[in-house]
Amino acid sequence: MERRDFLKVSASIAALSSITACNTTSEDSEEVKELAPEEVTTMSSCNVNCKATCPLVITTVDGIITKVTPETTTIDSEDGFVIRQQRPCARGHSAKQKIYNPDRILHPLKRIGERGSGQFEQISWDQAFSEIGVKLKNIYDTYGSRSVFNLAGSSLGAIHSPTPINNLLNVMGGYTGLFSSMSFSQVEKIMPYMYGTRPYSSIVESKFSDLYLFFGFNPLETGASGAGYGFEWQHVKGDTPVICFDPRYTDSMLGREESHYFVRPGTDAALCEAMAHHLISTDQVDTSFLKEKCYGFWAEPEMPDPHNPSLTLPAVPYEECYEAHILGIKDGIAKTPEWGSKITGVPAETIREVANRLAQAKAPFVIAGWSIQRQLNGEDNIRAISTLSLMVGAVGKRGTTNGDMAFSEIATTNAFFVLPSVPANEKNAKVRMAAWPRAILDGENMTVIKDDIILPPDEIDSRGDGKLGANIKCAWVRGGNHLGQQGDTFKIAKELKDQTNVELIINIENHMSSTAMYSDYVLPEMTWYEQTDLPWSNLQSGSMPFVIATTGIPRIGDTKSTWEICEGIAKVLGIESEFSMGMTPTQVLEHGYQVLRMFHPELPSTLSEMQEKQIFKFANPCDDSESSAIRHCAMYEYVTNGGLLNTASGKIDIYSHKLRELAEKNQIPDYWRSTDYINPIAKYMVVPGGYEDSDLVSNYPLQLVNFHAKSNVHSGYTNSQWLKDAMRRAAWVNPSDASGFKDGDQIVIESSFGKIQVEARVTQRVMPGVISYGQGFKFTPVGDLDIGGNFNSLTSHTMTSTVAKGTGVNSNRVRIYKA
């Protein structure tokens, strides 16, 4: 008997017993107790991509969830700060709503209406496997492997992941995959030009700090778990003052701040330049730090290349260095606080005051969220913030960071990347996550330099360039809602509707997402809660790494895992053993677990012992020790002990020769508004959709910027009625911009890309001239209006940032009016 059936039977028996129990004597009560419904508790986790991976204890009776509670594995013993209880947020607690939501997909579906119509018929798994097998093979034969795109999303388990799809497609001859993320592509790409790597401090490092300076950093809403980096920040913050620049007054403030200032979206680089001007003109820069550890703040002489002394590193003439830029030596524009104030909306006096505070602090923790780099000038926004920290010597010393988001220790992840898998096909190419929609019509012309694609080495020419050479003909989607989550949803939807573009869309999903609505086959996967796996701590989990052994509640519906789905298709194609490498999923997981143990021998010796233990938490204290400093403080080793960084100069490159060379190769795109594009030093630039975009200002008078809302994680949890009731989903409008409507009214937000209808929240908590709205709501087009209020119905994917070619969804101008 299947466990589920067994549970059902035992529950029915229990129900019967309770009726009989009315007439029983006390002697019978023992029997009644035995037959009571079986309450089962299961360790599970919330793997939605909020990057915290909280454990969840799920209690079921007869396979049906009755409770979702936090784990308590260390509550009576070691619970404290270093080893602590991992408490989920309101979203995690609403897991039951997510699992039983009516939009849950419980049977394989085949599209029968046009894409987007939502018309599907239920089919058997056998039919799904055989039809997909034939169609997939046909695409490989007709268009080649590069036209098969694996659009993997952000679901985070070990085996419960896109790995089985990679395996299947590698056996079939390869595929085009995705790399990087919508989260932090600009900062990830640009930091190595400055530091040779992407350094970051843990948030707990800030316990040694005496000032927080936030640029769009909102830890209590983006790191909401009761143990993650928001929790840690509150724990270590104490009385340390916080100064925050954000176009919105966020929940991270609410009295925790010393000062909060509105700043116009996309203008942080100008704000930093204006502060830099004040620091220079009041002689407050850390001269010895800039000379010893950094390169290009001032002029630099020609010298031998530190990595290869037989080559020469060219000079940096004074007019090209950072100081000259700030003083306006070349362009005649001194970046004074008054200059900065006009662009940023921050009063000049405030700019001076904050710059003074920064210079006077011993260990300022200068930190930016990632929204500021999800813009067309994102690389320079984050680099300007990092440069500001360098100017006051606030990098590499205890209590400091380098401007990037302070994320968590994730040492445990290393091992998971060595789960046994089919070797990657040597012909595989990759496109950036944010760039895939461009491959629908123009993949053939996407190149390394223009689009930052990754090609096999033998396809790269002497200039370092090469072409993708294929459009998407087949798209696999799993764990991502790419139609709604990437720029210009209306355009993507239109292109997907024409089946001569992408001929086959296979989507492995839990819910009827907007992307599923446009898919040809929607294959239901069981949720994380129903899976046996080994999820682990992630970027926003906090500094205590952990591994969770989930064992899964009974499955509902006729669902399968991604492994089972790919295995079914492989069987039809006669490549089952190549796909599975002769292993079962359990064996793959066991193997992965043993690799993990090689990194962490302290873990229980077998997977089943680990499953009994449920969670393993690794102590990772942040204290005075050298090892702790190296682990938690960005650039500590280099600043303390010196060394040669993997940058052009071998030091921290405020001026980057590598970027100068890259600029020479890149053509400035037609849509660009500024004469600057890729810059050797960080510069504020006027960008399309930015504050100073004069082409759009008159038609679209307001700036639009989104945030990652409390009520949802991207499009995950958006369907939970509890969360909808608890947290209002509305566009924030300053009273001065609310003309013709009032709080609670439905309004239309319209950009040059599309329009959406949403509720207005009229509030002083958003800057005048700025509309701020959460992202992740379901694309629901009615004609040319999206009544679901999906943010990306207003954004672009054809315009990209400069170096990373990352998403510019936050560089946006709109008009608003009553619906």
Ligand X SMILES: Nc1nc2c(c(=O)[nH]1)N[C@H]1C(S)=C(S)[C@@H](COP(=O)(O)OP(=O)(O)OC[C@H]3O[C@@H](n4cnc5c(=O)[nH]c(N)nc54)[C@H](O)[C@@H]3O)O[C@H]1N2
Q: Residue 195 in contact with residue 403, Cβ under 8 Å?
A: no
As a whole number of angstroms, the distance between CA 544 and CA 411 comes to: 10
The least CB distance from residue 549 to ligand SF4, in Å, is: 17
Q: Which of 325, 335, 710, 805 is in the footprint of ligand X by CB under 6 A?
A: 710
- Return d(Cα 776, Cα 723) in angstroms, integer: 14
Query: What is the smallest separation between the CB atom of 50 and Mo ion, expressed in angstroms?
Result: 8
Using CB under 6 A, pick the residue from 99, 372, 376, 622 that binds ligand X: 372
Q: Is 250 in the site for ligand X (CB under 6 A)?
A: yes
Q: Examine residue 719 and tell whether it contacts ligand SF4 (CB under 6 A).
A: no
Token code pair at residue 793? 């119905």
Our CB check for ligand SF4 shows the closer of 54 and 648 to be 54
CA distances from 126 to 122, 132, 567, 584 (A): 12, 10, 12, 20
Contacts of 147 (CB under 8 A, 6+ apart): 139, 176, 443, 470, 471, 472, 473, 474
Stretch that binds ligand SF4, among 52-60, 211-219, 338-346, 368-376 (CB under 6 A): 52-60
Decide: is 218 part of the binding site for ligand X (CB under 6 A): yes
Provide the 10 A C-beta neighbour count for residue 721.
10
Stretch that binds ligand X, among 136-144, 214-222, 334-342, 659-667 (CB under 6 A): 214-222
Which residues contact residue 753 at a Cβ distance below 8 angstroms, ignoring those fewer than 6 apart?
A: 487, 488, 490, 491, 793, 794, 795, 796
706 binds, among Mo ion, ligand X, ligand SF4, none (CB under 5 to 8 A by kind): ligand X
| Residues within window 191-230 making contact with ligand SF4, judged by CB under 6 A | 224-225
Q: Residue 715's binding partner, choosing from Mo ion, ligand SF4, ligand X, none, with beta-carbon cut-off 5 to 8 A by kind?
A: ligand X
**Closer residue to Mo ion, CB minimum distance, 170 or 185:** 185
Q: Figure out which of the listed residues 53, 485, 711, 807 binds ligand SF4, where binding follows CB under 6 A.
A: 53
- Residue 225 partner contact from Mo ion, ligand X, ligand SF4, none using kind-dependent CB cut-offs of 5 to 8 Å: ligand SF4
Decide if 301 contacts 657 (C-beta within 8 A).
no
Q: Which of Mo ion, ligand SF4, ligand X, none sits in contact with 274, Cβ below 5 to 8 A by type? A: none
In this complex, which beta carbon is closest to ligand X, that of residue 384 or of residue 415? 384
- For ligand SF4, give the closer residue by CB, 481 or 519: 481
Query: Is residue 270 part of the contact set for ligand X (CB under 6 A)?
Result: no
Query: Residue 731, interface with ligand SF4 (CB under 6 A)?
Result: no
- Is residue 810 part of the contact set for ligand X (CB under 6 A)? yes
Strand order across the beta sheet in which 55-61 lies: 39-45, 55-61, 64-69
Binding Mo ion (rule: CB under 5 A), the pick from 183, 371, 386, 559 is 183
Is residue 715 near Mo ion by the rule CB under 5 A? no
Indicate which of ligand X, Mo ion, ligand SF4, none lies near residue 352 (CB less than 5 to 8 Å, by partner kind).
Answer: none
Residue 238 tokens, joined: 């104490």
Give which of 293, 306, 467, 479 is closest to 387, Cα–Cα. Answer: 293
| Residue closest to 132 by CA, chosen among 108, 116, 106 | 108
Q: How far apart are CA 642 and CA 633, in angstroms?
A: 15
Q: Specify the stretch interacting with ligand SF4 by CB under 6 A; choose among 50-58, 397-405, 411-419, 726-734.
A: 50-58
Q: Tokens for 344, please give them.
A: 């940023």
Contacts of 5 (CB under 8 A, 6+ apart): none
Question: Which one of the spans 44-52, 234-242, 299-307, 645-653 is the region binding ligand SF4 (CB under 6 A)?
Answer: 44-52
Among 58, 89, 376, 659, which residue sits at the site for ligand SF4 (rule: CB under 6 A)? Answer: 89
Site for ligand X contains 189 (CB under 6 A) = no
Task: Report residue 741 CA to chain centroid gap.
Answer: 34
Looking at residue 161, its amino acid is: S
Counting runs of H as helices and runs of E as strands, what totals does the chain give? 30, 29
With a CB cutoff of 8 Å and minimum separation 6, the contacts of 715 are 481, 484, 485, 513, 514, 776, 777, 778
Stretch that binds ligand X, among 231-239, 414-422, 524-532, 686-694 (CB under 6 A): 524-532
**207 is a site residue for ligand X (CB under 6 A):** no
| Binding residue count for Mo ion, defined by CB under 5 A | 1
Q: Which does 53 bind (CB under 5 to 8 A by kind): Mo ion, ligand X, ligand SF4, none?
A: ligand SF4
Tokens in use for 780? Answer: 């629901």
CA-based nearest residue to 10, from 77, 52, 61: 61
Q: Which positions ≥6 away from 557 have C-beta within 8 Å?
A: 104, 105, 106, 107, 524
370 binds, among ligand X, Mo ion, ligand SF4, none (CB under 5 to 8 A by kind): ligand X
Query: Taking CB under 6 A as the rule, does residue 50 contact ligand SF4?
Result: yes
- Mutual angle of helices 337-344 and 348-360, in 10-degree steps: 110
Residue 58 touches ligand SF4, criterion: CB under 6 A: no
Q: Match 């790409």 to its residue by tokens.
A: 189
Binding-site residue total for ligand SF4 (CB under 6 A)? Answer: 13
Segment 425 to 454, residues that bind ligand SF4, using CB under 6 A: none
Contact 718, 778 (CB under 8 A): yes
Using the rule CB under 5 A, is 47 a contact of Mo ion?
A: no
Question: Could you tell me the smallest distance in angstroms from the CB atom of residue 46 to ligand X?
Answer: 10
Specify whether the CB–CB gap between 216 and 245 falls below 8 A.
yes
When CB distances are held under 5 to 8 angstroms depending on the partner's kind, the choice from ligand SF4, ligand X, Mo ion, none that residue 774 binds is none
88 binds, among ligand SF4, Mo ion, ligand X, none (CB under 5 to 8 A by kind): ligand SF4
Is 513 near ligand X (CB under 6 A)? yes
- 8 Å CB contact between 317 and 330: no
Q: How far apart are CA 354 and CA 345, in angstroms?
A: 14
Residues that bind Mo ion (CB under 5 A): 183
Residues that bind ligand X (CB under 6 A): 49-51, 153-155, 160, 181-183, 215-216, 218, 221-222, 224, 245-248, 250, 263, 265-266, 268, 369-372, 374, 478-482, 485, 508-511, 513, 525, 527-528, 540, 705-710, 713-716, 772, 775-776, 791-792, 795, 809-810
Residues that bind ligand SF4 (CB under 6 A): 46, 48, 50, 52-54, 88-89, 91-92, 224-225, 713
